[in-house]
Amino acid sequence: IKMSRFWSKTVKNLTPYVPGEQPKLSQLIKLNTNESPYGPSPKALAAIASANTDGLRLYPDPNSDALKQSIAKVHGLSSEQVFVGNGSDEVLAHAFLGLLKHEDPILFPDITYSFYPVYCNLYDISFINIPLDEDFAINTKDYIRKNGGIIFPNPNAPTGRALPLADIKALLESNTESVVVIDEAYVDFGTESAVSLVNQYDNLLVTHTLSKSYALAGLRVGYAVGHPDLIEGLERVKNSFNSYPIDKLAMAGAIAAIEDQDYLKKISQAVINTRAELVKSLDQLGFETISSSANFIFTKHPQHDAAKIAASLREKHIIVRHFKMPRIDQHLRITIGTDEQCAKLIAALQEIV
């Protein structure tokens, strides 16, 4: 790696997250970063347009109170139980620094969202990887040990496997001395949310994003809900970092999107329906797919190398995600597109396998 003598020691030691490619070409079928194939709520787009005024010369509300109120209302909580950030990645970053950095190492699965170890590296937090079982399932019993905190997505990424709420409840019953963060980036695609437990457990933080199910990855809005004391901890970090993470356009769009729950349900259901069809077609081609509760599937073909399939798909202008990592280098993560995009994917795979 090229280093500059002007870099701090911290910067020299970083291992930054590598996001999925955002290609400049427009003719591609882009199934690599779990964006929605549908547009955002028309009401969100209208609200953003209305906020695009001379008012932009003023700073936004540093506390994003109106947005917090909309989020609180949709979950039946109070505003003091809500934290908002510039994408849930920022919310997670603040949680790592503010709630998960302690003497004891934190725990997360060996196969999970690859940003978690990046934050640990940035903030100098020690961690232990808890292996998923052979079926790529999280076994919450493996997390019953001394720890500085626990974090995993539900459903997990990139496997798409969901954990029943009863398992999360059991984990919270046995783990009362550290914060448990459930990253629910994909919860709207068919998983029971742990938000229903935040009034019961003062160490539970649940994070959501508008990037996936709300089709607003470009707006950069995410949030966390939990006990007011946890939220206050996150506010202290946020106010020591960036007072205005939610700009005026994002605020207007996010509020309108969250208030349009009918649209959210409609496009989430469309993804769920397409997912079922895609899995059936992949079965017929000999693929083995993990049962998914997300807007992507994690699949492998017993006779064909995953990296080669990904490269062949790319030649056909379809991009999917392949991770060169132990245990999962024979899998592909494929975002659920429209029915038409998935039909093109299947047609391409028919020629490849």
Give the 3-state secondary structure of residue 331: coil
Sheet of 332-335: strand order equals: 288-289, 296-300, 332-335
CB of 208 to ligand PLP, least distance (A): 8
Helix (H) or strand (E) holding 7: none
Site string for ligand PLP, 59-98 (x = CB under 6 A): ----------------------------xxx---------
Number of other CB atoms surrounding residue 204 within 10 Å: 24
CB of 87 to ligand PLP, least distance (A): 3
Closest CA to 60 of 320, 235, 245, 305: 245
CB of 217 to ligand PLP, least distance (A): 6
User: What six digits make up the tokens of 111?
Assistant: 């196969």
Pick between residue 34 and residue 79 the one whose CB is nearest to ligand PLP: 34
Beta bridge partners of 319: 30
* Binds ligand PLP (CB under 6 A): choice among 113, 136, 263, 287: 113
Do 304 and 348 form a contact (C-beta atoms < 8 A)? no
Residue 245 touches ligand PLP, criterion: CB under 6 A? no
CB of 80 to ligand PLP, least distance (A): 22
Q: How many residues line the site for ligand PLP (CB under 6 A)?
A: 12
Do 72 and 84 form a contact (C-beta atoms < 8 A)? no
* Binds ligand PLP (CB under 6 A): choice among 150, 160, 183, 300: 183
Residue 157 touches ligand PLP, criterion: CB under 6 A? yes
Pick between residue 183 and residue 260 the one whose CB is nearest to ligand PLP: 183
Residue 153 touches ligand PLP, criterion: CB under 6 A? yes
Do 3 and 225 form a contact (C-beta atoms < 8 A)? no
CB of 119 to ligand PLP, least distance (A): 11
Site string for ligand PLP, 194-233 (x = CB under 6 A): ---------------x-x-----x----x-----------
What are the C-alpha distances in Å from 23 to residues 18, 26, 129, 216? 14, 8, 32, 18
CB of 90 to ligand PLP, least distance (A): 7
CB of 231 to ligand PLP, least distance (A): 17
Do 197 and 168 form a contact (C-beta atoms < 8 A)? yes
Residue 293 touches ligand PLP, criterion: CB under 6 A? no
DSSP assignment of 67-124: HHHHHHHHHT--GGGEEEESHHHHHHHHHHHHHS-SSSPEEEESSS-THHHHHHHHHT
Residue 247 touches ligand PLP, criterion: CB under 6 A? no
Binding site for ligand PLP (CB under 6 A): 87-89, 113, 153, 157, 183, 185, 209, 211, 217, 222
